[in-house]
Structure formats: structure tokens, C-alpha cells
Amino acid sequence: MGTEQMSGLPPSPDRQRVALELRFVPRALKTDALQEAWLAHLSGRSPAQAIKTFAERERRHRRRFVGEPNLN
């Protein structure tokens, strides 16, 4: 991962885990995932867990709505 993305990560003792979780997020959603990480950091939660949860939620959402046939 490049240093340009590493600089956007919140300060965290598990910074490597945060970077690892960010690798599993689609490129188009990385900014949103970083915002989730910062919100988690500021509220005292784990940024890595927040990114993981965000990615899982987005995958479920995509599976639910992208594969549905158009009923109109």
C-alpha cells in the first residue's frame, strides 16, 4: 500500500491491521471506509473493526440489490 493512503489512516496501535482490512475494500469505497475508521477512532472503537464491518455491510448490500431483477 502506498504512503499516500497510509497517511489517511487514523493513529492506532494496530495500524498494520487497519491497512490490511483496507485492502479488502473496493477502490471506489476506500474514502468511505477511511471515514468509518476515523469515526471509530474518535469514538474509542477499533478502526480496523470498523473498516471490516463497513466492507461486510457493503458486500451484503451489493449482493442484495445488484443481483435482483428489475420488476418494473
DSSP-based three-state secondary structure for 68: coil
Q: What is the pLDDT of residue 3?
A: 40
The pTM of this model reads: 0.76
- Walk along the chain (72 residues) and give the pLDDT tens digit of each residue: 444 344 588 887 788 999 999 999 999 999 999 999 999 999 999 999 999 999 999 998 888 887 655 554
Domain ranges in the chain are 27-66
- Contacts with 69 (C-beta within 8 Å, 6 or more apart), sequence order: none
DSSP tally for the chain: helices H, then strands E: 4, 0
